[in-house]
Amino acid sequence: GTPAPARTVSLQTDAAAAKGFQKKALEGQDLWATMETNQGTIVLKLFSKDAPKTVANFVGLATGEQPWISPKTGERVEGKPLYDGVIFHRVIPGFMIQGGDPTGTGRGDPGYRFGDEFKSMRGFDKPGILAMANAGPDTNGSQFFITTSTPTNLNGKHTIFGEVVKGYDEVVEKIGNVPRNRQDRPDTDVVIQHITISDAQP
């Protein structure tokens, strides 16, 4: 048989063509994310002015506005949030918690990659910073981490695009200290149930 046509997606970075929260992110409007997990709720302020494309990616994958490729089927997914049901697959006490991989392995992505955004010169100067995980320069996808430390050695290596404004002690630290295996994967899944985006602080 003939090979199936390649399914391709890319990050929406055109503010004129974008809709909804992706458009607001690309235009630099302040946005917030309410992340419900099975360990409690984390509220994050997103830095649209500093990292518009990175925030557009996160809010698009949270709401379903951003298309992605299902790692299970290879099909293009539209209108369905990538992050719903995805786990924090890597937690390291006194460092950070990492999630957002649709495969739950640390090797997955949304079917595209996009560039770093470092123009703000923000650094990892306090805990509770939201940043993109990557595999080197300009390899951002859907994986992110929230710090429980101040890893300033990561400055200029991982795009910072938000910070925790609620739920740090009660939820982020709790997730950071769950029992885990030698690969730093929690013994019991820590699940992102849903992420709600808003343009006013919840």
Q: How many angstroms separate the CA atoms of 199 and 29, rounded?
A: 8
Question: What's 66's DSSP letter?
Answer: S
Angle at 62 between CA 133 and CA 44, to 5 degrees: 70
Active site residue ranges: 90, 95, 98, 134, 145, 154, 158
Q: How many angstroms separate the CA atoms of 67 and 60, rounded?
A: 8
Q: How many angstroms separate the CA atoms of 60 and 188, rounded?
A: 28
Q: How many angstroms separate the CA atoms of 184 and 172, rounded?
A: 15
